[in-house]
Amino acid sequence: EDMAAHVGASRTPQEVMEHYVSMYIHGNLGKACIPDSIPNRVTDHTCPSGGPLSPSLTTPLPPLDISVAEQQQLGYMPLRDDYEIEYDQDAETLISGLSVNYDDDDVEIELKRAHVDMYVRKLKERQRRKNIARDYNLVPAFLGKDKREKEKALKRKITKEEKELRLKLRPLYQFMSCKEFDDLFENMHKEKMLRAKIRELQRYRRNGITKMEESAEYEAARHKRERRKENKNMAGSKRGKEEGRDGEFAAIENLPGFELLSDREKVLCSSLNLSPARYVTVKTIIIKDHLQKRQGIPSKSRLPSYLDKVLKKRILNFLTESGWISRDAS
């Protein structure tokens, strides 16, 4: 309106505005001087990133969702979001006795400021520990509530190695949020799966497979080869055991009387280096003498000369354990 009055009655305020917009804003002068995107030059002095004036420092956390009995057990006061016993319980003693006097000199004022600064640091550490406990759900974990929620939240089964690694990295909880920590392990799991997939694809390439459609046929053939190899190894080990058992009696298996012995008697003759015929002779004499003694017939055992005391004792113990003769007779 002022510009229209200055120009004269020949121009209305609407015409003046349209002329200004078309010539100085949308015209060549506006295109050269006015940028396409005008940045916001307003500075936010509240420091939302957690600075000294950040609103987040004064925003209280929501109270814990626990029952009255659990509140009493923990000494928790929900309206104040405090505990009866806090971290560094005696922190308030630093400032409880301070007072500002008009006759304080500079040294006393600086000393009192240092006490206040120490107290503020302790309060920050106390709040930091509360935030960590709230972020990682330590209170529900202490009460045994969050185990089912964790099992529901987990999309995959945690391996034993990952559990051990989580325990080793537990000191890092105070430097990372719970989401960052979970993302770290999720990314490590993804990395492990990708490395395994890369190794699998490299193995396919070494075997001449260039398409995923061919991998199914290759895997089926590989499983057949492995199964065939396992069966062959099992058959070889079984045959080796049988050959080893037969080789154990190689020194006496061709001697007369070998087929009359039981497996335990074969082991005994092989360990004593005694021929089957001689063992059968000694066994017959001992059992015959034992039966005559049980019937009250006096008999004098005449054992062969090749049977020394050690062999006799071993054979008597074996016959006693096998039940051929009684322990008293031996």
Beta bridge partners of 76: 83
320 and 314 Cβ atoms separated by less than 8 Å: no
For residue range 209-252, list pLDDT tens digits in order.
Answer: 888 888 888 888 888 888 888 888 777 666 655 555 555 666 77
Q: What is the pLDDT of residue 30?
A: 85
272 and 249 Cβ atoms separated by less than 8 Å: no
Q: What is the pLDDT of residue 298?
A: 72
Q: How many other β-carbons are positioned within 10 Å of the β-carbon of residue 268?
A: 19
- Residue recorded with tokens 């999720």: 186
Q: What is the pLDDT of residue 311?
A: 82
Q: What is the pLDDT of residue 198?
A: 93
Query: How far apart are alpha carbons 23 and 32 in whole angstroms?
Result: 12
Query: How far apart are alpha carbons 316 and 166 in whole angstroms?
Result: 64
Can you list the residues of the chain whose pLDDT is less than 50?
Answer: none
